[in-house]
């Protein structure tokens, strides 16, 4: 790659999520992940203790990411529970200005909704303005909707197309599946998104079956989200980096 970006990988990158309460722990996880095959990093800043949340810390972490692009989120949980969406948006813009590669804009930002998708015209205009400002700061934008339950293909496509229309460089939708039949239907949805979207996408599913998190990149998703190890802040549904390296190698070998 000639520059840091999530839009020019030849194959879906192994993106290691490095959630931590301190910058030192993030640096530790990155240093351990690089020799094991990490190709990008994801940092969820809602998990970081508030006194570390400043431009100096952000620039330091992005500079020490071993030349890998960094995906950042600033969700409403963790230390962000009491913050307004306006504050979350300002903080996300600051992350872009400090060098974050890809910024996660929730699709219900400025109008909180179950499933993280708003149709409120005023909120949408604010989102579009924020996306423009992130782009002006040199950042890329992923727009996310965490639905967290099984969702019909037509609805998933409708949400993704609207995320794209609002200016997202990458669309992210997380649904659910309570059995294998629903997980298989989710695989069909990936093919539909491949056919209809003009931008890359990340489609994930929680629940009893999590096949998509392990083979989604080979089906059409733009990246894999994984973790180096299962510590207290790691997302348990995200597979281990060591496992993903093996799985991807086997899929490429036999593809």
Distance CA 234, CA 227 (A): 7
Give the helix/strand (H/E) hosting 247: helix 241-253
Give residue 209's pLDDT: 64
Q: Given a cut of 80, is residue 163 above it in pLDDT?
A: yes
Distance CA 105, CA 215 (A): 25
Q: CB of 201 within 8 A of CB of 164? A: no
**223-242 average pLDDT score:** 96
Is 44 in a helix, a strand, or coil?
Answer: strand
Q: At 15, phi and psi to the nearest 5?
A: -100, 115
Give residue 1's pLDDT: 35
**161-165 average pLDDT score:** 98
Q: Given a cut of 80, is residue 188 above it in pLDDT?
A: yes
Give residue 255's pLDDT: 56
Give the residue from 99, 192, 80 showing the smallest Cα distance to 138: 99
Residue 50 CA to chain centroid, in angstroms? 22
Across 1-10, 143-152, 206-215, the highest mean pLDDT is recorded for 143-152
Q: Given a cut of 60, is residue 158 above it in pLDDT?
A: yes
Structure tokens at 148: 């967290």
Give the helix/strand (H/E) hosting 196: helix 180-196
Whole-prediction pTM value? 0.95
Q: Given a cut of 60, is residue 221 above it in pLDDT?
A: yes
Q: Given a cut of 60, is residue 183 above it in pLDDT?
A: yes
Q: CB of 244 within 8 A of CB of 14? A: yes
Give the residue from 98, 110, 109 showing the smallest Cα distance to 70: 98
**210-220 average pLDDT score:** 89
Q: CB of 109 within 8 A of CB of 126? A: yes
Q: At 249, phi and psi to the nearest 5?
A: -60, -45
pLDDT tens for residues 81-140? 999 999 999 999 999 999 999 999 999 999 999 999 999 999 999 999 999 999 999 999
**1-21 average pLDDT score:** 90
pLDDT band (50, 70, 90) for residue 2:
very low
Q: Given a cut of 90, is residue 18 above it in pLDDT?
A: yes
Give the residue from 78, 74, 194 showing the smallest Cα distance to 144: 74
pLDDT band (50, 70, 90) for residue 161:
very high
Distance CA 102, CA 100 (A): 6
**165-173 average pLDDT score:** 98
Spatial neighbors of 128 by CB under 8 A, at least 6 apart, are 166, 167
Q: Given a cut of 50, is residue 254 above it in pLDDT?
A: yes
Q: CB of 45 within 8 A of CB of 85? A: no
Q: What is the pLDDT of the chain when averaged over all its residues?
A: 95
Q: In this prediction, what percent of the chain has a pLDDT beyond 90?
A: 89
Q: Which residue reads 């190890």 in tokens?
A: 229
Neighbours of 232 (CB within 10 A): 7
Q: Given a cut of 90, is residue 207 above it in pLDDT?
A: no
Give residue 210's pLDDT: 74
Give residue 212's pLDDT: 86
> What secondary structure letter does DSSP report for 198?
S
**177-196 average pLDDT score:** 92
């Amino acid at each position: 790659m000639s520059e840091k970006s999530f839009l020019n990988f030849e194959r879906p990158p192994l993106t290691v999520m490095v959630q931590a309460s301190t910058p030192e722990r993030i640096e530790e996880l990155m240093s351990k992940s690089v020799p094991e095959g990490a190709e990008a990093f994801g940092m969820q800043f809602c998990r970081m203790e508030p006194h570390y949340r400043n431009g100096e810390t952000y620039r330091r972490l992005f500079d020490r990411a071993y030349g890998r692009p960094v995906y950042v989120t600033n969700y409403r949980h963790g230390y962000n529970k009491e913050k307004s969406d306006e504050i979350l948006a300002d903080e996300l813009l600051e992350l872009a200005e400090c060098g974050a590669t890809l910024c996660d804009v929730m699709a219900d930002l400025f109008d909180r909704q179950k499933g993280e998708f708003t149709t409120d015209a005023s909120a949408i205009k604010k989102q579009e303005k924020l996306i423009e400002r992130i782009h002006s700061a040199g950042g890329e934008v992923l727009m996310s909707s965490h639905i967290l339950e099984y969702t019909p293909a037509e609805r998933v496509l409708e949400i993704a197309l609207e995320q794209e229309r609002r200016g997202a460089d990458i669309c992210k939708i997380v649904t659910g599946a309570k059995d294998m039949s629903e997980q298989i239907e989710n695989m069909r949805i990936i093919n539909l998104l491949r056919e209809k979207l003009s931008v890359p996408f990340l489609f994930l599913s929680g629940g009893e079956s999590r096949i998509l998190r392990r083979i989604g990149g080979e089906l059409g998703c733009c990246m894999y989200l994984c973790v180096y190890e299962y510590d207290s802040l790691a997302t348990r549904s995200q597979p281990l980096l060591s496992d993903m390296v093996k799985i991807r190698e086997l899929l490429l070998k036999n593809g």
